[in-house]
Amino acid sequence: MNTSNWLATQFEAERPRLRALAYRMLGSLSEAEDAVQESWLHLSRSDTSTISNLGGWLTTTVARICLNMLRVRKSRP
């Protein structure tokens, strides 16, 4: 199994937990899906050789994406 297939498999295993986290933070299932999808984009563009704990990295990334989404939501009139 090559690296990109392994990453995709690991990400899909984490997806339900990440979606639940994002939903708790954002209160919207569609926004939660957007946050999880954005975390996949971040992961696919990152140097994964430096990530020692993929679940922790994804959790942190999703939480930061959600915080940014909340910040943008708050700044809109």
CATH topology for 3-75?
Rna Polymerase Sigma Factor; Chain: A (1.10.1740)
**Dihedral in degrees, nearest 10, Cα atoms 39, 68, 17, 14:** 10
pLDDT in tens, 12-60: 999 999 999 999 999 999 999 999 999 999 999 999 889 999 999 999 9
Look at residue 77 and tell me whether its pLDDT is greater than 80. no
The pLDDT of residue 15: 98
The structural domains of the chain, with segments of one domain joined by +, span 3-75
Q: What sign for the dihedral angle of Cα 64, 67, 71, 76?
A: positive
Q: What is the pTM of this model?
A: 0.91
